[in-house]
Amino acid sequence: MKFIPHEYQKYTIEYIKSHPVAAAFLDCGLGKTVISLSALKDLIDAGEVKKALVIAPLRVARDVWPAEVEKWQHLKGLKISVILGTPKQREAALQADAQIYVINRDNLSWLVSQKWTIYMFDTVVLDELSSFKNMRAARTRAAYRLCREAKRVIGLTGTPASNGLMDLWAEYAVMDGGAHLGNHLNSYQLKYFNPVFGYQGKIVDWKPREGSEEKIYEAISDMTISMKAMDHLQMPEKVVSDYVVRLDAKEKSLYEKLTAEMTLNLKGGEITAKNAMALGTKLIQMSNGIVYGIDGTPVHIHDHKLEALEDLLEAANGKPVLVVYNYRHDLMRIEAMLRDKGIRFAALDSKESIRAWNRGELSVGLINPQSAGHGLNLQEGGSQIVWYSLPWSLENYTQTNARLWRQGQKEKTVVIQHILTEGTIDEKIRAVLGKKDKTQTALIDAVKAELKN
């Protein structure tokens, strides 16, 4: 296929080529993979890049980057090697004659442990830069070491600060070694934030000081480009709605008892939450209808969400629906219902299942936002998403929706529906996702690229 870049794509390609360290905040659907590959191809042809390493989520590394090289005519000369599989397979991929090497994040520590590989790559591409927001994580430390030896670093993401501006420090430190936001998290905190004190004077949070957001944006502006899809694409209409289900009196009483006492004794087993975080997880499970007991056995509470999903699939009248689940027991219940109804479905966790979805062979595709929320192109297979349960993560939420609401979507409208249990933690998660979005939007707006005519 011939690549005819939009003006914003031309602009971003040139920006990456002219900035040795570049952070490209490209909203979902803007084509960040083909943009990056086009820039790398030009730099390789010019002799400025010899070997580039792309670090991406597993399925994106395995499926998306190689597919993009094959898809576009101007990229046909690129040699790409995917570093996945067993240690022997990964070693063979490293030894392969290629210009671009692609590895998943979980294999980064292994790659760095080879030692000589640290000096192998003159360019590092961090696909989903937001995955490196914790400097204590092994993957982040490994990426930091690789970037320090590289001449060029490219950071790509659509959600740079999904949980607030504190995320940015590690992301930028990995790319530039601390040149823009400082070498230490503590210094960054003290410069731009005020501590929030809790019980016994312990710091429980950090809040941006007045005017600090603008100062942070200014500090990173010379290496950052940001674009929103709505500014540059004729995006399909997005319709978002809630399908509300209700607990009966007995079920509501159980929910309230678990909330108040953090423990329940049921016929199926004992339910106990050790702390607030564990309680939140149990309450999400209970709102879905199944909750794990202390021995790991799933205990049945209700079927309201499962029945609601049946209604929504019936209303879809044969049109493909992407169903998002968060827990294994939810997946098992959904799959059992789909089999019973004779509905064609598959979990979208392999090349074969993704291709089947995009070819229109499935009525239902099942995905988990943590494993399939980034990078996959699913827009050819359908235009409807149903969230069986919502995640806490704004990043996972927006990235998963962007699998269908993106460039290349054939339908004029994408429908996103949330199944929510009334009077439960579902409603709070829905509100939190909206609250976090304000910080994310502010960041992207602040460093938005100005395109010339």
C-alpha torsion angle, residues 346, 348, 351, 352 (rounded to 10): 10
Please report whether residue 85 resides in a domain: yes
Q: Which residue, 424, 370, 419, is CA-closest to 392?
A: 370
In a shared domain, residues 16 and 118: yes
CATH number of the domain where residue 199 is located: 3.40.50.10810
**Dihedral sign (CA 369, 371, 372, 375):** positive
In a shared domain, residues 208 and 245: no
Amino acid at 175: M
Please report whether residue 355 resides in a domain: yes
In a shared domain, residues 343 and 271: yes
Per-residue pLDDT of the chain (453 residues; tens, 9 = 90+): 899 998 899 999 999 999 999 999 987 778 899 999 999 999 999 999 999 999 998 878 888 899 899 989 999 889 999 999 999 999 999 999 999 999 999 999 999 998 888 899 999 999 989 889 999 999 999 999 999 999 999 999 887 887 789 989 999 999 999 999 999 999 999 999 999 888 778 888 889 999 999 999 999 999 999 887 767 777 788 888 888 899 999 999 888 887 776 666 665 555 666 566 777 788 888 899 988 777 777 888 899 999 999 989 988 877 899 999 998 889 999 999 999 999 999 999 888 999 999 999 999 999 998 876 566 788 888 889 999 999 878 888 888 988 888 877 888 888 899 999 999 989 988 887 777 656 666 666 666 554 443
In a shared domain, residues 69 and 160: yes
Range of the domain at 346: 237-440
In a shared domain, residues 21 and 66: yes
Which residue, of 233, 248, 281, is where some domain finishes?
233
Rounded to 5 degrees, φ, ψ at 157 are -170, 160
In a shared domain, residues 223 and 318: no
Which residue, of 203, 233, 263, is where some domain finishes?
233
In a shared domain, residues 268 and 176: no
Please report whether residue 262 resides in a domain: yes
pTM score > 0.75 for this model? no
Whole-angstrom Cα distance, residue 434 to residue 105? 29
In a shared domain, residues 60 and 123: yes
pLDDT value at position 306?
94
Which residue, of 233, 256, 281, is where some domain finishes?
233
Please report whether residue 424 resides in a domain: yes
Which residue reads 């235009």 in tokens? 383
In a shared domain, residues 206 and 295: no
In a shared domain, residues 289 and 200: no
Q: Token pair of 75, please? A: 């990229």
Please report whether residue 451 resides in a domain: no
Q: How many separate domains does the chain show? A: 2
Three-class SS state of 244: strand
- Secondary element (H or E) of residue 12: helix 7-18
In a shared domain, residues 224 and 344: no
Please report whether residue 306 resides in a domain: yes
Distances (CA, A) of 193 to 215, 269, 312, 328, 336: 11, 46, 45, 39, 49
CATH number of the domain where residue 244 is located: 3.40.50.300
Q: Token pair of 194, please? A: 């005020």
DSSP-assigned states of every residue in 271-298: EE--SHHHHHHHHHHHHHTEEE-TTS-E
In a shared domain, residues 345 and 315: yes
Please report whether residue 260 resides in a domain: yes
pLDDT value at position 330?
93
Whole-angstrom Cα distance, residue 7 to residue 232? 9
> What angle (nearest 5°) sits at the alpha carbon of residue 354, between those of residues 381 and 29?
60
Three-class SS state of 227: strand
Please report whether residue 110 resides in a domain: yes
Q: Where are the beta strands (DSSP E) in 44-133?
A: 52-56, 80-83, 100-104, 123-127
Three-class SS state of 419: strand
